[in-house]
């Protein structure tokens, strides 16, 4: 897991908690002043995430952010992993956990961040 600085105190103030894939997406989220936890892979870390997130209140949104990484053979690890992690977390936490893909067709949050940074 990639945890933001002061994650344990800041998690209580976060209105939305993003669960991103990997350290570079976690770093991009921090640069955007978003609260994010980096998971180790598309499907990994559910048990650890459930333990970290058991303090989250019902009005705090949890979103698993996948990746736009569809393969030519029809598989889509980033999307399918985000869906699977969201479902497993929802079951373990007994609450809604959403999933999403990065905006504007970007591969991941880091790529989207870099595109927006270049536009300025």
- The terminus-to-terminus CA distance of the chain in angstroms comes to 31
Domains of the chain by start residue, with CATH: 7-119 (3.40.1360.10)
| Backbone angles phi and psi of 75, in degrees to 5 | -80, 155
pTM of this prediction?
A: 0.92
Per-residue pLDDT of 54-97, as tens digits, reads 999 999 999 999 999 999 999 999 999 999 999 999 999 999 99
Per-residue pLDDT of 42-56, as tens digits, reads 888 999 999 999 999
Other Cβ atoms within 10 Å of 78 Cβ, number:
21
């Amino acid at each position: 897991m990639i945890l933001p600085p002061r994650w344990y105190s800041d998690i209580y103030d976060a209105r939305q908690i993003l669960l991103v894939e990997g350290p570079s997406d976690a770093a991009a989220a921090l640069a955007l002043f978003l609260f994010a936890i980096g998971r180790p892979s598309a499907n990994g870390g559910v048990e650890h995430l459930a333990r970290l997130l058991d303090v989250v209140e019902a009005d705090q949104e949890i979103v698993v952010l996948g990746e736009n990484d569809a393969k030519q053979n029809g598989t889509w690890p980033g999307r399918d992993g985000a869906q699977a992690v969201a479902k497993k977390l929802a079951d373990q936490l007994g609450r809604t956990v959403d999933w999403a893909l990065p905006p504007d067709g970007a591969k991941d949050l880091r790529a989207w961040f870099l595109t927006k940074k270049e536009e300025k």
